Structure 1
């Protein structure tokens, strides 16, 4: 990973880590999960529309053959991901949610085995097993209070899987489109299904606190629009596996931000589970791969 890719990936991870906290702030400040997601993506979509019409900007339309993939990846990597994270954080702390999302590369490894026909050695399967044990331990540290907590964990894990699918399949498209173009396509496609949350939005906006409004605006600009662009650029500049490894530090940053901002700290059991899960991910990526088929070959 060259210096440019490293810096952009680091900036992205810090920005994305803050989103777990701002989501909690928005929810605690009066936003419903659906309205919070929608307002974030209306802001992000508007930013990209503004960019397209900025004088001197060259912006190509997607090719007909890529339209279906763009729409599907937008729905999966944007709509499903953010619905999972935001609804999950109704009952899961910001730090715990970030640890569960940090387990996303486990799903990426499984996708690589079954879709990319990548071979895992003994250490690979040990790492995957450790990762899923870690997820189970995180869940044990989160559940036990109400059935809603279990739903929250399920939502966040669904988001982690959606994120993995987006990361696996967007890489080859970066050869045909710029990072900003591709992020704009995904954002617009992912915003459309979120319009189901439009009823009641204006009333919700009137009821939410100023802090919640500021967190929603921040989330729409930085983690939603800027973060995906910087990540796409980092992915185009470096190897996908190397760049993705930067996600290992995301839970650490998110936990510290949640502690400083919300005075919120995951349970000891959840932290232990997070360490086990992310250690398993590291084992898979560092020692577990016998044969790697480049992501560029995913057509």
Structure 2
């Protein structure tokens, strides 16, 4: 069955826009709900939305043998990622945060080299060094210990996101990208349930714009974003679909400027460009140009963010 080019392109573009808009929305949500409240409610809203549509999208139950790996994906890519990113964005601008998170593939590749025996070539080493040099420039561009610490916290969010992508590889041999995302989202929400009492109190006291931003984050970048990404990545090559994600930081900077009046300083932008150059260098080395076959199930492909 052929799928219209306009539909798959729309899905890919929608994913990029949704994920870019998440960074400024986090700034609004964390101001009103706090780090723990925003983390819990974003995952909870997304989990409910995915649970509602999962029968329609034919999401299967996971095999019990895969539960430990799913738990690892949930803890790193959902629970820890949300907490670290939200904590970091207390002091770091949305655009700068998006530049730091864009380095996540660096850590995925390094983990694959260490644990899966994938060859660590000179190109990958050069790309890693370049990306981390850009990160260091961003971290020290703020001029204060709070900004530097927050930038390093967001870098840790990129690290755990890299662990998530690495840990999903075995699961994606048996499940669709959407299924892996659902399992991780649901389990990640369970891991954050100790924060629920405080999150409820925060919600009752939160301003309207923070509540709206949290609903937006859960329903659109988190829930819908996984659906559109799964559709797009199943119908493009991995190289094509992941290359589109390079547009997330510049779009995030643009959205943050329009929404919040934020824009990274010149040194931060320079660091971001250096980091992106390193990531692109690694991606060009590891990407495989193979043609993706037409999927037999509605949503196949590798999950992202």
- Give the TM interval when normalised to the shorter protein: 0.7 to 0.9
Q: 1:266 to 1:40 in 2, by over 3 A?
A: same
Q: Does 1:21 align with 2:8?
A: no
Q: 1:199 to 1:126 in 2, by over 3 A?
A: same
Q: 1:224 to 1:57 in 2, by over 3 A?
A: closer
SS of aligned partner of 2:192: helix
Cα distance in structure 1, aligned partners of 2:288 and 2:258: 43
Other-structure match for 2:200: 202
Cα distance in structure 2, aligned partners of 1:229 and 1:99: 24
The TM-score normalised by the length of structure 1 is 0.87
SS of aligned partner of 1:177: coil
Cα distance in structure 1, aligned partners of 2:206 and 2:129: 43
Conservation of the 8 A alpha-carbon contact between 1:25 and 1:212:
yes
Q: How far 1:59 sits from its partner (Å)?
A: 4.0
Q: Structure 2 residue aligned with 1:34, among 30, 33, 36? A: 36
Q: Does 1:269 align with 2:270?
A: no
CA RMSD of aligned residues (A): 2.5
Q: Structure 2 residue aligned with 1:46, among 41, 45, 48? A: 48
SS of aligned partner of 1:119: coil
Cα distance in structure 1, aligned partners of 2:164 and 2:81: 10
SS of aligned partner of 2:141: helix
Q: How far 1:151 sits from its partner (Å)?
A: 2.6
Cα distance in structure 2, aligned partners of 1:244 and 1:290: 9
Per mean C-alpha deviation after superposition, the further-off stretch among 170-179 and 196-205 is 170-179
Cα distance in structure 2, aligned partners of 1:17 and 1:247: 9
Q: How far 1:46 sits from its partner (Å)?
A: 1.4
Q: 1:289 to 1:17 in 2, by over 3 A?
A: closer
Aligned length: 286
Unpaired stretches in structure 2, ≥5 consecutive residues: 290-300
Cα distance in structure 1, aligned partners of 2:238 and 2:160: 17
Q: How far 1:158 sits from its partner (Å)?
A: 1.3
Conservation of the 8 A alpha-carbon contact between 1:137 and 1:269:
yes
Q: 1:140 to 1:9 in 2, by over 3 A?
A: same
Q: Give deviations 1:66-121, integer Å, cap 9, x for gaps.
A: 11111111111111111111111011110110000011122122123222322243
Cα distance in structure 2, aligned partners of 1:290 and 1:99: 21
Q: 1:189 to 1:124 in 2, by over 3 A?
A: same
Other-structure match for 1:193: 191
Conservation of the 8 A alpha-carbon contact between 1:183 and 1:229:
no
Cα distance in structure 2, aligned partners of 1:290 and 1:50: 34
Other-structure match for 2:179: 181
Conservation of the 8 A alpha-carbon contact between 2:72 and 2:164:
no
Q: 1:276 to 1:206 in 2, by over 3 A?
A: same
The TM-score normalised by the length of structure 2 is 0.85
Other-structure match for 2:63: 63
